[in-house]
Amino acid sequence: MSDEVTRRGFIGAASVAAGGIVLAGTDPARAAESNNKSKIIAISCSRREGMSTAGALQIALEAAKAVSPDAIDTELIELAGKNLHAEVAAKIELAEGEVDDFLPIAEKLGDPNVAGIIIGTPVYFASMSSPCKDFIERLGVFRSQDYALSNVVAGVLAVGGGRDGGQEVAITSVQATLFCQEMIVVGAGRKTSRFGACIWAGAEGGVEEATNRAAAGDLGRRVAEVALALH
Ligand SMILES: Cc1cc2nc3c(=O)[nH]c(=O)nc-3n(C[C@H](O)[C@H](O)[C@H](O)COP(=O)(O)O)c2cc1C
């Protein structure tokens, strides 16, 4: 399998990376089409489409957009139902006819305008979900191509069924992987000012409950503020 992904600041690479994706360098045609807004992408690593993790990320993205509506675009990508094939990261070729859904996601993340990424994971036994881990392993293609996500701002949100269900442990385990990418890892901004957004899906009102809204908003705002300051 060999495909192309582009990314700002990454010029001239042509080697096949771990994962079999070639990051081919800045595409002038795509850059010309770009509206030059900073883009913040949220990745929902829940197996359940449109559920708590996606809902919390929507709140984070609304807050991010509100920081500067004319300068920021946002997009939510849900991994639910997608095949990310973590074995590809270990250089195991896909079987003939197997569909790999990572490439279109990688292309979006490789957009030169992407300035921030917010990863949302459900808490599964006090850690990240397996789709989240698969996604992070596939991100290795960016690292092996001259750290193509370097200086992209990253924030993390975790949703648990319990109030103290391991959200902070899940958040910090995701954050640790992002340091491997030279990303600029930020926590939730004021007034939460903690590791990331800890969301309790069991709270009355679910992710819309005030404490959850505040935490998700503080994360989205912080990612947007730092992204605009850096990009
Ligand atoms: C395998 C599994 C393990 C779970 N482990 C935890 C846990 O350790 N702590 C917790 O608070 N919730 C746990 N949960 C509950 C989920 O975190 C919770 O349902 C969350 O809302 C799922 O996100 P979603 O609504 O986006 O699917 C677990 C759920 C599953 C399926």
| pLDDT tens track for 188-216 | 999 999 999 999 999 989 999 999 999 99
- pLDDT score of 35: 75
Report how far apart, in Å, the C-alpha atoms of 107 and of each of 27, 30, 136, 141 are.
12, 11, 15, 12
The C-alpha atoms of residue 1 and residue 103 are separated, in whole angstroms, by 10
> Does the pLDDT at position 9 exceed 60?
no
Between residues 148 and 13, the one the model is more confident about: 148
Ligand 1 atom nearest to CA at 201: 21
- Which amino acid does the sequence have at 186? V
Rounded to whole angstroms, the Cα distance separating 6 from 27 reads 6
**Residue-averaged pLDDT of the chain:** 89
Model pTM score: 0.90
Quickly state the pLDDT bin for 11 (edges 50, 70, 90). Answer: very low
Percent of the chain with pLDDT over 90: 83
Dist. CA 231 → ligand 1 center (Å):
35
Q: Omega into 39 within 30° of 0, i.e. cis?
A: no
| Alpha-carbon gap, residue 94 to 99, rounded angstroms | 8
- Asked if the model's pLDDT at residue 4 lies above 90, the reply is no
187: confidence class by pLDDT, cuts 50, 70, 90: very high
Residues 6+ apart with CB under 8 A from 72: 37, 38, 39, 40, 64, 65, 224, 227, 228
% of the chain surpassing 70 pLDDT:
85
Domains of the chain: 3-230 (3.40.50.360)
The pocket around ligand 1, CB under 6 angstroms, is made up of 46, 48, 51-53, 122-126, 159-162, 165-166, 201
pLDDT over 50 at 227, yes or no: yes
Residue type, 8: R
Asked if 61 and 40 touch (Cβ cutoff 8 Å), the reply is yes
Helix (H) or strand (E) holding 4: strand 3-5
- CA of 161 from ligand 1 middle (Å) equals 5
